[in-house]
Amino acid sequence: MWSEQLDNGKYKFFERYKDPYTEKWRRVSVTLASGSNRAKKEAQKLLNKKIEKVIQKLSSSDRFFNDILDEWWGCYQKTVRRSSVRARTPAYKRLSENFAPGVPIRNIDVAYIKKYITDTNYTKSQLDHIKVILNGTFDYAQELKIITDNPARSTTLPKRPLTIDEMQSAADKYLETDELNPLLKELYRIPRTYRAGLLAEFMSLNGCRIGEAVAIQKHNYRKESRELDIHGSLDSVDKNARKELTKTASSYRTTYLTYREIEIIDELLELNELAASSDPDWSKTDYIFLNNRGKPVQRNSFNITLQKANSRLKNPIQKTLSSHIFRHTLVSMLAEKNVPLKAIMARVGHKDSRTTMQIYTHVTRNMKTNVADILDAIAKDRK
């Protein structure tokens, strides 16, 4: 406790206390006519009662949204992959800064959330991340018995009309055969990008994510039965990559290998063994998809390699190239061959059909040509 003498001759006594929820220091005060020892004792009693009253009043239902958000975020980071934390950090910061500062979480309803979403200019992807965090934060508050219902889960995101750019982007998510082949040929042409070519072709046949591909180890490969276990993903947030479980439960799968996939894996095993025998610095590892230094391929460096190879083509592909484009390429090629949707989902390890369906339903150039040929034949028969 400390005191200050006021201009009117009275004394103002202060005491600090820590908020039991936010753990921030706050203070209460009381003003008395005297600064004597007797007054100090009286002031201490009054301040203690005041603090006790404030804490009693500060029930769980009065806790601010930001405090619950911070608590949930701390728990969330311990339960998901580092790449998920990195992807959702911008959304967490947006909510922390401008969603409901100083608002008790019990006062937030569907209308409040809906207005926030409607009034922002966030992209669909940004809103998707924001919705995930809101869902989790209010679920956490509900679990703590702070609220009874979760308004975030009752709030739907607006269905914004597709723009021309967005409709065009669907065609940019995968490669046609006449785009894929020249790119692979260019990657294979130069020794330093040869391994990248093997990885790219493998993903275009297997449909795995790059994190899943580079996490494949020798014991995951069973040549005799033509099986490959996709049982992990190599986190590539930083250079200290570590193997984690696959993105979803459905991503944890065993795929049946094509003969070309087997050739690629066998060639890499041979290349790795040869490099290890001649290079003392080559890392001793069971991972198969390694770069020229014997380390698991990094997503960013692989993407840069793709983009540089594309720039060397006589007719560069007018699409944004990244590792994920090969996964989408497989989906489009199988859809073009009328492979059932569920079979494609099982191959690529999708949790639900929405992501696959976006590509599955997008008609490729070859399918458009087939439809035109069929209609031409129908029209001819009418004559």
Confidence (pLDDT) at 245: 66
Residues of the chain with pLDDT under 70: 21-22, 56-61, 160-170, 236-242, 245-250, 353-355, 362-369, 383
Partner residues linked to 18 by β-bridges:
25
SS3 (DSSP) at 206: helix
CA nearest neighbour of 55 among 14, 26, 12, 13: 26
What is the spatial distance between Cα 207 and Cα 350, in angstroms, rounded to a whole number? 10
CB 247 within 8 A of CB 233: yes
Kindly list the distances between the CA atom of residue 132 and the CA atoms of 36, 67, 150, 157, in Å, as whole numbers in the listed order. 58, 17, 12, 11
Confidence (pLDDT) at 241: 63
Confidence (pLDDT) at 108: 95
Residues composing the chain:
383
Q: Which residue has the tokens 């005060």?
A: 29
- Give the pTM: 0.65
CA nearest neighbour of 128 among 149, 98, 158, 83: 158
Q: For domain 170-368, give its CATH number from 3.30.300.30, 3.50.50.60, 2.40.10.10, 1.10.443.10.
A: 1.10.443.10
Confidence (pLDDT) at 302: 96
Domains 65-160 and 170-368 share a fold: no
Confidence (pLDDT) at 308: 97
Q: Which residue has the tokens 């055969």?
A: 177
At the fourth CATH level, which superfamily is domain 65-160? Answer: Tyrosine recombinase, N-terminal domain (1.10.150.130)
What is the spatial distance between Cα 143 and Cα 101, in angstroms, rounded to a whole number? 22
Tens-digit pLDDT profile for residues 313-340:
999 999 999 999 999 999 989 988 888 8
What is the spatial distance between Cα 246 and Cα 320, in angstroms, rounded to a whole number? 25
Tens-digit pLDDT profile for residues 344-363:
888 988 877 666 777 777 65
Domain segments of the chain as ranges: 2-58, 65-160, 170-368
Span between the terminal Cα atoms of the chain, in Å: 102
CB 360 within 8 A of CB 341: yes
SS3 (DSSP) at 351: coil
